[in-house]
Structure 1
């Protein structure tokens, strides 16, 4: 089974060599897979780091493609079009694949596989993200049995393009209408389009390790950018989180209205949010050090995600997706 592995990358000079090294060490015949790295107009030293690695790598077939910054969706599509093989495996540039990943893919009967991204929990930000996702997707997060994703359970399953296997024809026929938009929910919408054409497996054995951002500045930026993507898919009647978004908007409107007429309530509002922060942190924590991480990062993360959601709603209203 011949494979083409596609890695979209943008400004990952610190992680990209680690990612490529893991890809070069996959336990699979070297003649049966290629790696296509699509550099989406990086402005740091990512391009040079990739070139240096490929120059030294003698066994694995690597190909670097440089393009103007076009966004994640178009970058994946461009990589797929350049692939020599019908079997495509997409992974993130912040991931290290496990050495048996291609063997595990080859064992599956499915034409589309969403893999199992394990979280590197060494950093505070990594631990923070891990604890949230574990509670949110407990039935399909890290330790689970094979799940067939369908329309009924689609919103409840942990999924994405962090590690995704797909047949080339299926992938290219499932692209979004607004591929050029950097604010669309490209991964979720892509998977929905794929589900219209074939069954999808959530496979526990197709593994990568995801290394979260360690910079608070980058974490804040990434969280804010997730807001419009979240709105793009979920701000629609019938979608799982649509009622929650409406409830949040209603609560914010009431709160702002009250504060305009009763400024004294500002202090009480802060105390209420602090109490909520403490309660949620206790609920999510698995050990004492988790509480400190959660209680510290949650207010900032929540605020930035909320701002991102508000931006997304304004974009929806103005038709700018």
Structure 2
């Protein structure tokens, strides 16, 4: 394998031109050989002047930057366009709100060269911005994993993949019209074919997290809504991270069914109007919600308690885990209900 393999870096973007400018400038400032990588920007139908900015950036580095534009179809479709036109044997991915250090390409290609096919990394909140509790929690979530050598999934805001992997696994699922879940679904397919997902602490980027809780909860809701879509793509049993993924999902479905059933019964029989009914509905909701959360997060809570962070942050991060999961559950329930209504 050559010392410096050719790399194609794909950056999907949508209506974030100011962040995109910083992102591309950081990619142009790499220690990696200048003739060994290209930057592919795919504009997903932006309306904020992104097209003009991209032309300006291309004028600064005409031999380095390629650009493509499509109607708003989502990041999965945008990345697929980039992959189809990429020349590199290695393909790197970042989002338009990511700033990479100048050794990012060097680090990523070095790790991939060591017989690793898929490598993801960590994200830190930009140093020039003042963090708050929510952004610190974002750092924690970006960097959180129990097993760096076999992660359950990796995120496309900091990812390197050997081109040959896409030839076997396929491209991103364009059924996902918005961000949230399309990378997880692709990772599930990769794991199904025997690929291990490695997460390296050496591969770091600066990632803009939402500063406000409401934004994080909207993202959690969207991820929950996409869970049904993800699992509809993975139909047979296969082992992931030491557990049978389909079995774990069946437990979650049973818990969600219990939550829906308790709400339905309370409304149908007007139980909410009586004290006994209120106790009944609350007990059922609490029971099935706890089943869902414990199945989903009990190992995470144990892991959080072992981390070298203050008790204050352990408590707050655990609480935010639960709140985000509740919104994720809500997103799944609403998507299930919507699906039944359409039928």
TM-score range relative to shorter protein: 0.7 to 0.9
- Partners of 2:162 and 2:48 lie apart in 1 by 32
Q: Are the structure 2 counterparts of residues 38 and 172 from structure 1 closer, same or farther at C-alpha, using a change threshold of 3 Å?
A: farther
- Equivalence map 1:40-51=2 (5 Å): 40-51=44-55
1:138 is aligned to 146
1:261 aligns with 2:271: yes
2:187 is aligned to 191
Range that drifts further, 68-77 or 168-177: 168-177
Checking the alignment, whether the CA contact within 8 Å between 1:228 and 1:312 is kept in structure 2 is yes
Checking the alignment, whether the CA contact within 8 Å between 1:10 and 1:39 is kept in structure 2 is yes
Q: Are the structure 2 counterparts of residues 172 and 39 from structure 1 closer, same or farther at C-alpha, using a change threshold of 3 Å?
A: farther
1:171 aligns with 2:138: no
**3-state DSSP class of the match of 2:169?**
coil
Checking the alignment, whether the CA contact within 8 Å between 1:80 and 1:172 is kept in structure 2 is no
Range that drifts further, 220-229 or 230-239: 230-239
Checking the alignment, whether the CA contact within 8 Å between 1:24 and 1:60 is kept in structure 2 is no
- In the TM superposition, what is the alpha-carbon distance from 1:77 to its structure 2 partner? 0.9
**3-state DSSP class of the match of 1:209?**
strand
1:304 is aligned to 327
- In the TM superposition, what is the alpha-carbon distance from 1:5 to its structure 2 partner? 0.6
1:71 aligns with 2:74: yes
1:143 is aligned to none
- In the TM superposition, what is the alpha-carbon distance from 1:193 to its structure 2 partner? 3.0
Checking the alignment, whether the CA contact within 8 Å between 1:88 and 1:168 is kept in structure 2 is yes
1:128 is aligned to 137
- In the TM superposition, what is the alpha-carbon distance from 1:302 to its structure 2 partner? 4.5
Q: Are the structure 2 counterparts of residues 306 and 83 from structure 1 closer, same or farther at C-alpha, using a change threshold of 3 Å?
A: same
Relative contact order, CA 8 A, sep 6+: which one is greater? Answer: 1
- Equivalence map 1:206-217=2 (5 Å): 206-214=203-211
- In the TM superposition, what is the alpha-carbon distance from 1:309 to its structure 2 partner? 0.8
1:19 is aligned to 23
- In the TM superposition, what is the alpha-carbon distance from 1:233 to its structure 2 partner? 2.7
- In the TM superposition, what is the alpha-carbon distance from 1:24 to its structure 2 partner? 1.2
1:250 is aligned to 258
Range that drifts further, 171-180 or 90-99: 171-180
* Uncovered stretches (5+) of structure 1, i.e. residues with no partner: 141-146, 150-155
Q: Are the structure 2 counterparts of residues 180 and 296 from structure 1 closer, same or farther at C-alpha, using a change threshold of 3 Å?
A: closer
2:9 is aligned to 5
Q: Are the structure 2 counterparts of residues 53 and 310 from structure 1 closer, same or farther at C-alpha, using a change threshold of 3 Å?
A: same
Superposed CA RMSD:
3.9
Higher helix share: 2
Q: Are the structure 2 counterparts of residues 13 and 200 from structure 1 closer, same or farther at C-alpha, using a change threshold of 3 Å?
A: same
Range that drifts further, 44-53 or 176-185: 176-185
- Partners of 1:93 and 1:192 lie apart in 2 by 24
2:119 is aligned to 114
Q: Are the structure 2 counterparts of residues 139 and 46 from structure 1 closer, same or farther at C-alpha, using a change threshold of 3 Å?
A: same
TM-score, scaled relative to structure 1? 0.74
- Partners of 2:31 and 2:195 lie apart in 1 by 27
1:94 is aligned to 97
1:153 is aligned to none
- Partners of 1:130 and 1:256 lie apart in 2 by 38
- Partners of 1:60 and 1:25 lie apart in 2 by 15
- In the TM superposition, what is the alpha-carbon distance from 1:138 to its structure 2 partner? 3.1
2:156 to 150, 161, 170: 161
* Uncovered stretches (5+) of structure 2, i.e. residues with no partner: 238-243
